[in-house]
Structure 1
Amino acid sequence: MKLLVYLVAVLGGAALSMEGAIAGELGKTVGKLESSYYIFIMGTLILGLTTLFAGKGDLPYVLKAPKWNLTGGLLGTVYLTILVISIPFIGIGVSMVAVIVGQMITSMIIEHFGWLGSSKIKINKERVIAIVCMGIALVLIF
């Protein structure tokens, strides 16, 4: 089961690279912010329909949730818009590796301190080596 989750996560990463490339190209034509806006509109429509027919959660809870829980929408918008802007300048590979390095560093800090409801996982030598290797990969791919 764990291997399946890893594979699905890799597919998610592949989808993000494709989305970034597509959004970057669309941004050349319609504008960078307009490209991000279009992608979020389409995502909202598709996810809205999916939630309507297959959702099993408690969407009205959003009104009662702690406000910091709602910042994910802002962060997703920042992430996608940065990709739309950066990909035409530095390419998909460099943009995605830079994003992954940022994700790895931030996720390790969050887990180390147990912030944002995450389990505490201490930073260790292996994790630091992984960050160094990704930093080297970023330099080499650039």
Structure 2
Amino acid sequence: MADPKVIHSTFVLERKFSKPAATVFAALSEPEKVRQWFTDEKNSETLEFSLRFAVGGSRRLVYRLGPTTPVAGMVIINDGYFQDIVPNERIVTATTMTSGDKRLEASLTTFELLPSDEGTDLVCTVQGAFFEGLGPDPVGLIKAGWNGLLNKLMSVVNAE
């Protein structure tokens, strides 16, 4: 059987915060805070970042992968569109990832903020269609990327 042209996958990542949902939500919605955790200045050069946080609004990140990455110099365009926002409870974003004229991914990402005795539990669910061009393990690559982003998000929230 030939390699699939598209791989469908859903994965769930969770983080526990000692801060209230409003603090976590702010880190997910305020442009200056989102830029702190959503961009990767160590391994890439950010060429463009914009965020209009509203239902129907968008988030755009354009970056060039750095010399320590497997595909140094590749420019990635990540476009997200906010589908649903419930303050301090939920954010749903439809996202595409493109390089040149090649679509690499189309996905739906849901952040759920759940109150806990310690503060807030974050449940991040990614439902994706991953296309050629992401290497032999596209799901693992995207999942590792999201784990890194959520770790950075924790640092931003904990600094509050």
Bigger Rg, which one: 1
Q: Fold-level match, TM-score > 0.5?
A: no
Structure with the largest fraction of helix: 1
What is the TM-score when the length of structure 1 is the normalising length? Answer: 0.31
Greater strand share, 1 or 2? Answer: 2
**TM-score with structure 2 setting the length:** 0.29
